[in-house]
Amino acid sequence: MTRDVVSIDDLSDAEIEAVFDIADDFLANMATPEKPYRIRGRTDCAQDFYLATLFYEPSTRTRGSFESAMFRLGGGVFSCADSKATSTAKGESIADTVRVIQNYADLIVIRHPWEGAAQVAADYSDIPVINAGDGSHEHPTQTLCDLYTLRTAQQPRHPATTRKSIKDLTVVLSGDLRHGRTVHSLAYALARFGARIIPMPAAKSYDFPDHVRHRLANDYGCIPVALDDVMGGSLPADVLYVTPEKPHQLSLMTSDIVDVSIQLSPKEEKALKSIKEVDFFYATRLQAERKEAGEADVDYPVINTEFLKQRPYKHSQVMHPLPRVNELSYEIDDDARGVYFQQAAYGVPVRMALIAALLELRPALGTRPETMQDRYPIYDRPHTLTCRNLQCVTRKESELRYLKPRFRIVGHELPRVRCLYCDHEQDPQIISHARSKKYRKGTSAWKTIKSEDLVLFGSEQEASKAGHRPVKSESAASATHA
Ligand code: NCD
């Protein structure tokens, strides 16, 4: 059974640790002594294997480090860095492309502008697929490099201690949290490992989108609580996320998110107030290529040495997935706190380790772990619901011919569904019955219809198009009103 890495949730915490142990091993044996983060030379453990890199969006680090990793493992690489030079330009679907490529290679790495594209590739490929970024959705292997940096680049506050744990680190995620796929995967991983997250969007409109907040809340149990007085009130954050399990996992969230309902115990409150410093400051660029029509320009904050003089950041390590544009000053390059080039260098040992694990050249992965997502029931009745996200792979013409929208039912009180490909959520407006094709307005029937009879529509119009009608009393009532 092959394993894919489409989401960061496709790897369990233990598997991530195991991949990092392999990366440590590669570095211990292959790094140059003067640059202990840089791999040199090659081994031959993957000499019988080929990697296909399908990059339908620009890339320097991700493709470069995947290809370097495969070559340094002794394997071969088959590369496509321009979709215009492939049959995609002729309208070939993702499913067909991967079913052809699987005959030429042993592992596929795919980057694609459509959200959910990597999931489709994984569904149709019989060799492992790695998501190297699908639109604004996820970028799990960047998260592996980020977590490895968090684990490796920590400067112990007290010389006698060495910190290797991600748990309890305080990490600011800043910049374009709305469109940035790196910060989405990273936020999920940080929540899972129990780090504290302080989102610091460039502007309110660049905050995490609703589906990311919902996933943080639903899947990782992060619950927002009011926040004041953390770090002496010196952070622009006003809401805090905690997990309902004990001990609470403390994550900080900005803005006016939902339902501030959790009461912290005095001990938890004290623990939170004792946080004085940010361990890592993760900057990201404005994802200009993903800007939607009508989105206003904002003054994008610049992280420079002046900014880092503020008390919470005095000892913060500065990370960035790169490329940078204007948001991160070049003056930090000469500051010991800037670890972003090291973070990029870790792309090679971490990706070598992941490739070795997926090709079963090194033991790290077992059977696929049950993910948080697997707990939700699937809704996939054809010709009923459509994903509302126009960037979702299920909305694209070349994929519509064979792909059926699929959702997970994530709501308890409301029949909220989450697209299985892109994670965007919606609250269906009509709940109908498969056999009677009759529905009542509102969502009251939600808990009474058996799952095998459940039919969901986004609107009355869509229900009517599919031949579903309101129950008699309701159609009569609306006729009277008319
Ligand atoms: C990121 C990406 O492609 O999402 N780059 C990378 O892989 N290191 C970040 C970005 O492009 O801003």
Domains of the chain: 8-138+346-358 (3.40.50.1370), 154-338 (3.40.50.1370), 376-481 (no CATH)
Could you tell me the distance, in angstroms and rounded to a whole number, from the CA of residue 321 to the centre of ligand 1? 6
Q: What is the pLDDT of residue 83?
A: 79
For ligand 1, mutation pick of 110, 185, 322 (most atoms within 8 Å of CB)? 322
Tokens 């919606």 label which residue?
426
For ligand 1, mutation pick of 57, 60, 62 (most atoms within 8 Å of CB)? 62
pLDDT along the chain (482 residues), means of 10: 95 95 96 94 97 95 98 96 80 96 98 98 98 98 97 63 70 94 96 85 90 87 62 58 51 42 67 80 94 82 92 93 96 96 97 98 91 89 95 96 95 88 96 94 83 93 95 63 43
- Adjacent-strand bridge partners of 470: 439
C-beta of 395 in contact with ligand 1 (< 6 A):
no
C-beta of 321 in contact with ligand 1 (< 6 A):
yes
Could you tell me the distance, in angstroms and rounded to a whole number, from the CA of residue 380 to the centre of ligand 1? 32
- Work out the angle at residue 23's Cα, subtended by the Cα atoms of residues 18 and 28, and round it to the nearest 5 degrees: 125
- Ligand 1 atom with the smallest distance to the CA of 132 is 7
Could you tell me the distance, in angstroms and rounded to a whole number, from the CA of residue 209 to the centre of ligand 1? 18
Q: What is the pLDDT of residue 255?
A: 37
E strands, 113-215, are 129-134, 170-175, 196-201
Tokens 């010991």 label which residue?
336
C-beta of 136 in contact with ligand 1 (< 6 A):
no
The three-class DSSP label of residue 391 is coil
C-beta of 285 in contact with ligand 1 (< 6 A):
yes
Rg value, the chain, Cα = 24
Could you tell me the distance, in angstroms and rounded to a whole number, from the CA of residue 6 to the centre of ligand 1? 16
C-beta of 184 in contact with ligand 1 (< 6 A):
no
**Nearest-angstrom CA–CA distance, 52 and 272:** 46
C-beta of 181 in contact with ligand 1 (< 6 A):
yes
Q: What is the pLDDT of residue 165?
A: 77
C-beta of 133 in contact with ligand 1 (< 6 A):
yes
Contacts of 341 by beta carbon, 8 Å cutoff, 6+ apart: 333
Q: What is the pLDDT of residue 480?
A: 46
pTM as predicted? 0.92
For residue 288, the 8-state DSSP code is G
Could you tell me the distance, in angstroms and rounded to a whole number, from the CA of residue 65 to the centre of ligand 1? 13
Residue 45 amino acid letter: C
**Nearest-angstrom CA–CA distance, 284 and 331:** 17
Q: What is the pLDDT of residue 476?
A: 54
Q: What is the pLDDT of residue 482?
A: 40
C-beta of 137 in contact with ligand 1 (< 6 A):
no
Residue 474 amino acid letter: E
The three-class DSSP label of residue 304 is coil
**Nearest-angstrom CA–CA distance, 72 and 74:** 5
